[in-house]
Amino acid sequence: MAERIDMEEAKASNGEAHLDENMVNGLDSHKKSGSESLSERVKRIVKANMLVILTVAGVIIGVIIGLAVREASPTRVQIIYIGFPGELLIRLLKMIIIPLVVCSLVSGAASIDPKALGKLGGWAMLFFLITTLIASSIGVIMAFIIKPGAVTGTKPIIAGLDENVPPPKEIIDSFLDLIRNIFPSNLVSAAFQSYATGYKLVKINITDPSSNITVEKVPIGTDQDGMNILGLVVFAIVFGVALRKLGDEGEILIKFFNSFNEATMVLVSWIMWYAPIGIMFLVAGKIVEMENVGELFASLGKYIACCIVGHAIHGALVLPGIYFIITRKNPYTFLWGIFTALATAFGTSSSSATLPLMMKCVEEKNGVSKHISRFILPIGATVNMDGAALFQCVAAVFIAQLNDTSLNFIQIITILVTATASSVGAAGIPAGGVLTLAIILEAIGLPTNDISLILAVDWIVDRTCTVLNVEGDAFGAGLLQHFVDRTSKNGGEELNEVKVGQTESAPEHSPLIEKQKAAEARHNEKESVM
Ligand code: ASP
């Protein structure tokens, strides 16, 4: 009952009629009639969960295709062609990220009262921080229990990866870069470049020829490829708040961003139907491409297991547990609702690329209002990375064990804190977390070269890591929705505004919902005739 009230409130808060509980499990609405035959019931459940079924089928078929093609030992060129449909999915999702993030944050920030915005943002940050710290702790505990680096004795050697190891960087420079990126000097270049400190050796003391020439390492700013999404997020929020401050004058621009956002979401609903095919070929392509899996597992299997089990504990028990304790709703129904997005995260290894589908899923299937999802999810996809923090902690302890370095209490706390901070700095792209792992290793004085080992298996670990990263964001959005609902039920003033839709735009539909609605209308018609 309580769940139904919440759903209905969410419907009202969305200002949309398309939120439909049936989408979650397809079970409720026909209970009343009791006249539905088994085949009709199965049909309806299949229809309601069509996208999830297609996605699961995509993954399974992808594995089969991958294994079959692998047998034929294809050439590198052929492997690239096999991965092409998957590459298209990633391109489509990437294409949509900038308009989606910017428009949804501008219109989200402009449509919520600044006080409520602060409160929402504050709660979200608190949730993100606590869950990331828990994830880091799980990582450290798992690594101490499983001891992935202790048994091998000698360091495993994986050839050919050393050149991919990021150049070492002072910790202070890593944090300064994070802050610099929050304030991009050029918004246009922030769409494809971010700031990173490099170093130049400069000779000093040249005035006195008798003295030894000393060389100083001077930090220099460089622009590297990769979207500065943190900068865009911060700019969009602040710009939205500024627009709201303008009052009537800002109205037109707010409407512009609102409709831009709506149109982008329509594109997302179309891309969603391509996701199962894309995921199928991403999985197939990866299986065909894998090299020396046996060797990797033999030398680094414990590390991989440690990360994946840690991700599973956090994703299947801890986050759902927190959600259940706070909302008293079934967290697994929530997870089912976002299944397609989780599968996309698994296939693409990118939180940013998963963002569009995640928004669509939480809004349409889990009853999260647009105002919340479109405000919180882009922020979450940028700063909240439970999976990354967890695997970075495992990796740090693993590397310490490989180097026979025992870690004291202070070093463990340092790992927890720096992993939480460096996960904020990690980009939502494949292997984003490995790049910031160097910060943790530097902080506790471990060799950064050992990152090459982590890189060797990152293509596996990164998948479960990204699933966990996006799952944490989705639960954050679900909890905020609960918080808003509860506050307004208790007569709370400020957050009421979050529930009031600012534009009366027509809801965007996904073909699935429209078909399902039409079918339900027909069904109801039949019943009323009878
Ligand atoms: N691939 C992850 C993500 O996109 C980041 C990471 O490597 O940890 O969320």
State how far the Cα of 16 lies from the Cα of 14, in Å rounded to an integer: 5
pLDDT value for 186: 92
Q: How far is the CA of 485 from the centre of ligand 1 (A)?
A: 31
The stretches in the chain having pLDDT less than 50 are 1-32, 499-516, 529-530
pLDDT value for 359: 93
pLDDT value for 161: 55
**What does residue 493 show for φ and ψ, rounded to 5 degrees?**
-85, -55
> Which ligand 1 atom is nearest residue 429's CA?
4
Residue nearest to atom 1 of ligand 1 (CA): 430
Of 94, 97, 308, 465, the one to substitute when testing ligand 1's pocket (max ligand atoms within 8 A of C-beta) is 465
- The tokens for 70 are 């692998």
> Which ligand 1 atom is nearest residue 391's CA?
8
Q: How far is the CA of 290 from the centre of ligand 1 (A)?
A: 20
pLDDT value for 13: 43
Q: Which of 314, 315, 293 is nearest to 304 (CA)?
A: 293
The number of angstroms, rounded, from the C-alpha of 3 to the middle of its chain's C-alpha atoms is 26
Q: How far is the CA of 286 from the centre of ligand 1 (A)?
A: 17
Helices (H), 432-510: 432-443, 451-489, 496-499
> Which ligand 1 atom is nearest residue 388's CA?
8
Of 97, 164, 349, the one to substitute when testing ligand 1's pocket (max ligand atoms within 8 A of C-beta) is 349
> Which ligand 1 atom is nearest residue 430's CA?
1
Q: How far is the CA of 294 from the centre of ligand 1 (A)?
A: 24
pLDDT value for 212: 67
> Which ligand 1 atom is nearest residue 354's CA?
4
pLDDT value for 513: 41
Residues 6+ apart with CB under 8 A from 21: 4, 7, 28, 29, 367
Residues within a 6 A CB radius of ligand 1: 349-351, 385, 388, 426, 428-433, 462, 465-466, 469
- Decide if 385 contacts 423 (C-beta within 8 A): yes
Q: How far is the CA of 339 from the centre of ligand 1 (A)?
A: 18
Q: What global pTM score does this model have?
A: 0.79
The per-residue pLDDT for range 286-327, each reduced to its tens digit, is 888 877 677 667 778 889 999 999 999 999 999 999 999 999
> Which ligand 1 atom is nearest residue 427's CA?
5
Q: How far is the CA of 466 from the centre of ligand 1 (A)?
A: 5
Give, to the nearest 10 degrees, the angle between helix 38-48 and helix 511-529. 150
State how far the Cα of 180 lies from the Cα of 163, in Å rounded to an integer: 27
Q: Any idea where the domains of the chain sit in the sequence?
A: 49-192+227-522
Which amino acid, residue 408?
Answer: N
DSSP state, residue 163: G
DSSP state, residue 28: S
- Decide if 303 contacts 457 (C-beta within 8 A): yes
Q: How far is the CA of 390 from the centre of ligand 1 (A)?
A: 11
pLDDT value for 478: 95
Residues 6+ apart with CB under 8 A from 39: none
pLDDT value for 497: 52
Residues 6+ apart with CB under 8 A from 253: 243
State how far the Cα of 418 lies from the Cα of 442, in Å rounded to an integer: 10
pLDDT value for 49: 80
pLDDT value for 60: 92
State how far the Cα of 291 lies from the Cα of 162, in Å rounded to an integer: 17
pLDDT value for 8: 40
Q: How far is the CA of 190 from the centre of ligand 1 (A)?
A: 19
Residue nearest to atom 8 of ligand 1 (CA): 433
The per-residue pLDDT for range 345-360, each reduced to its tens digit, is 999 999 999 999 999 9
Q: How far is the CA of 85 from the centre of ligand 1 (A)?
A: 22
pLDDT value for 346: 92
Of 429, 434, 454, 473, the one to substitute when testing ligand 1's pocket (max ligand atoms within 8 A of C-beta) is 429
pLDDT value for 209: 61
Q: How far is the CA of 116 from the centre of ligand 1 (A)?
A: 30
Question: Domain 49-192+227-522 in CATH: superfamily?
Answer: Sodium:dicarboxylate symporter (1.10.3860.10)
State how far the Cα of 37 lies from the Cα of 55, in Å rounded to an integer: 27
